[in-house]
Structure 1
Amino acid sequence: MILSRAWTYFEAVARHGSLKSASEELNVASSAIGAQISQLEHDLGAPLFDRLPRGMRLSSAGETFLHHGRRAILEIERGRAFVERLHGTDSGLTTLATVEGLAQGLVADALAGLWKSKPNIRVSVTSVASARVPEMIDNGQAELGLSYLGSRHAYVNVLANVKLEIGVLLPQNHELASKGQISLEELAETGTPLLLSDQSVNVREMLEAAVGRSSLERHTRLVSNSTASLTRLAELGAGAAIRTRLEPILGRPDKGGLSFATLVELKGTVQELALIKNKDVSLSPAGQTVVEHLQRSLRELDT
């Protein structure tokens, strides 16, 4: 990647909010990073950070510079990828923002398949909360996004999507595992505690709207923003994870697998899993290649 030292230092401080953390990441002295940023501010004629007693916060000028700088970096990478392709090199870099559970499951499987035929494609995957994925697409931090969409955004194009039911994940040897539908009352009667996502995941909001927060809290053993942890604990028999049907489809037979049943209280409710890009930005060759493999994976989920 073609980057100036000043931009690299600025972007690291913007992400971490401090010279010290940026210094540790880059293995560069804090004083050197601070000097480069001060010179950059002098060249631009505006302060990029507000200096606080504990750290540094982007100023309005800094936020604008970061936004456009990240867009510019994506364009540089696209340009390099096109040049490489002109010379017969099937390579290039794309960036993908997704949620943790998808990164470990669907995305990992798709990339493994991709690299069997196109081993030189490089991918940078960042795991964030669902709500952050469209933001990263908008501000240029990621070329592609794969996440559950709570609402549509004017700046986003949906390249592929699938609607997934919400239900209960249980180990296959659980007494309710053979049922197609399970209610929260039935889980309580069998002494099966709930393993729930936190407020950063849309499923939690849907559950609270359907049955109330206090009712959920009485039967909840674990709350986590890690969907992978919920799935693993359900496999180990620690409780019932309330997730989409994506998890058991991807299941791990070597670990005993999971059963999926729709949750009575959310019957008919679905989550839209969508592959997205910025509508104003064309895909790089590497991005297009990754899109084709992820589209195939989403089509398989819809069958």
Structure 2
Amino acid sequence: MLHSRLIRYIDEVARAGSIRQAAEKLNVASTAINRQIIAFEEELGLPIFERLPRGVRLTTAGEILVEHIRNTMKDHSRAMLRIGDVKTLRRTKITVATLEALTADVLAHVVSEFQQTYPLTKIIVRAMPADAIVTVVAGGDADFGVGFDFPSETGLTVHARVSCSLGAVVRPSHPLATRASVRLSNCLDYPFVLPAEDLTLRQLFDRMARKARVSIEPLMETNSIDLLKRNVMLADVVTVLTRADVELERLRGGLAFVPFRDSDVGAQTLTIVHRNSARFDAVTMHFAEKLAELAHQIGD
């Protein structure tokens, strides 16, 4: 069985190519190291070192073992660093400003996963309109802002940016749900419920519909993304959102997102921003990377 002391012995002997030199570096008797290695080889049933006149060299089995040992040591070091972060950053808090529509579908997943690793870090999520997100992040009242289509001149640093194209959103039992993609014309046999006309989503959709020379009279219009999703879950209607808007329901099997393949599909830009002068600790940066990873997963 490999224990921590034997791991160190084998790794150092492999690096030095000599039991004697490894013993000198570790300040351990060479006979003690040799005895433990021989006992391990007998237990393994294979030699891990080939004994040479002037040292030792790894056998094929030894090379496999040492690769495993070094990976284990790296994993241990990474784990200890992360544990150290948790121990020394007990009062760390991370504040995120985001759109209401993204709290469940993007933030909930990231926060839940992050808190399993950093249970002592407090996450504050504040839902607000896009212009307010820019204001609070620029003013230092939030560490990160997550939203769609921020103005280009915000004075903020972009941590991640992904394009999120529109798609048809239907319930899993809907005839369109199993398709890999659809054209807008494929959806015309079904009633629509749509975002309100003052929402960017609707404006992108209307532009796409005009280019496709399609006219749609929705059964319902609303500025509530949650209401659109609930309505779709209850009836064979179609709405138009991005995957970021429905990721949580999609993962749970409550909704299906079917990308449009029309030539001029509208898209929103999902962006993660922070202040230009912000300096973050390791835990906060890890949270930012988790946000970016999920953004890229749900983007185009």
After TM superposition, give the deviation of residue 217 of structure 1 in Å.
Answer: 9.1
Q: Deviations over 1:196-244 (max 9, x none)?
A: 2452x421222334446xx999622333333233223222226212111
The one-letter amino acid paired with 2:218 is T
Query: Which runs of no fewer than 5 residues in structure 1 stay unpaired?
Result: 1-83
Other-structure match for 1:195: 194
Other-structure match for 1:297: 294
> How far apart, CA to CA, are the structure 2 residues paired with 1:299 and 1:183?
24
After TM superposition, give the deviation of residue 103 of structure 1 in Å.
Answer: 0.7
After TM superposition, give the deviation of residue 180 of structure 1 in Å.
Answer: 4.4
After TM superposition, give the deviation of residue 137 of structure 1 in Å.
Answer: 1.5
- In 2 relative to 1, CA 185–150 (structure 1 residues): closer, same or farther, beyond 3 Å? farther
After TM superposition, give the deviation of residue 88 of structure 1 in Å.
Answer: 2.1
Give the root-mean-square deviation of aligned CA atoms: 3.2
After TM superposition, give the deviation of residue 167 of structure 1 in Å.
Answer: 1.5
Query: Which runs of no fewer than 5 residues in structure 2 stay unpaired?
Result: 1-83
After TM superposition, give the deviation of residue 96 of structure 1 in Å.
Answer: 0.7
Secondary structure of 2:176's counterpart equals coil
> How far apart, CA to CA, are the structure 2 residues paired with 1:185 and 1:220?
15
Secondary structure of 2:130's counterpart equals coil
Q: Which moved more, 1:173-182 or 1:95-104?
A: 173-182
Other-structure match for 1:155: 155
After TM superposition, give the deviation of residue 112 of structure 1 in Å.
Answer: 0.6
Other-structure match for 2:255: 257
Other-structure match for 1:273: 270
Contact 1:181 1:264 in 2 (8 A): no
> How far apart, CA to CA, are the structure 1 residues paired with 2:215 and 2:138?
36
- In 2 relative to 1, CA 134–243 (structure 1 residues): closer, same or farther, beyond 3 Å? same
> How far apart, CA to CA, are the structure 2 residues paired with 1:196 and 1:263?
20
Q: Deviations over 1:246-269 (max 9, x none)?
A: 3454434555431413163742x3
Secondary structure of 1:251's counterpart equals helix
- In 2 relative to 1, CA 95–232 (structure 1 residues): closer, same or farther, beyond 3 Å? same
> How far apart, CA to CA, are the structure 2 residues paired with 1:86 and 1:99?
29
- In 2 relative to 1, CA 259–294 (structure 1 residues): closer, same or farther, beyond 3 Å? closer
Other-structure match for 2:240: 242
Contact 1:164 1:272 in 2 (8 A): yes
- Which protein is bigger by CA-based radius of gyration? 2
After TM superposition, give the deviation of residue 174 of structure 1 in Å.
Answer: 1.8
Other-structure match for 1:143: 143
Contact 2:172 2:253 in 1 (8 A): no
> How far apart, CA to CA, are the structure 1 residues paired with 2:170 and 2:250?
13
Secondary structure of 1:192's counterpart equals coil
Identity of aligned residues (%): 16
Secondary structure of 1:147's counterpart equals strand
After TM superposition, give the deviation of residue 277 of structure 1 in Å.
Answer: 0.5
Q: How does 1:81-120 map to 2 (within 5 A)?
A: 88-120=88-120
After TM superposition, give the deviation of residue 289 of structure 1 in Å.
Answer: 3.5
Other-structure match for 1:3: none
Contact 1:143 1:278 in 2 (8 A): yes
